[in-house]
Amino acid sequence: MSLFDYRTSLNLAAQDHPFYALIMAAMRKADSNNIAILKNSFPEIWNELQQRYDSPGGILPEEKS
C-alpha cells in the first residue's frame, strides 16, 4: 500500500458508498491473487456480480417488471 492508497480510501469512505458496492468494485479491480481471496471471503457477492455482469444493464430476471 501507499500514502495514495490510504488517502484514496479516506475519500471513498467519506463518499459513504455501500459496503457491498465497494467489495464489487474491488473484485472488478483485483489481480488473480486478490480475486481468489475476495471470492473465498464473499462468495455470494461474487455470484451476484457475475449474474449482474451477464444480465443486460445489470438487471436480474426477477427484478424486471
Domain boundaries, the chain: 17-63
> Are the C-beta atoms of residues 42 and 19 closer than 8 Å to each other?
no
Kindly state the greatest CA–CA separation across the chain.
46
Does residue 65 have a pLDDT over 80? no
Say how far apart CA 33 and CA 18 lie, in whole Å: 24
How confident is the model at residue 29, as a pLDDT? 97
How confident is the model at residue 64, as a pLDDT? 80
- Predicted structure pTM score: 0.86
pLDDT tens per residue, range 8-54:
999 999 999 999 999 999 999 999 999 999 999 999 999 999 999 99
Cell representation of residue 22: 465497494
Cα 10 to chain centroid distance, Å, stands at 17
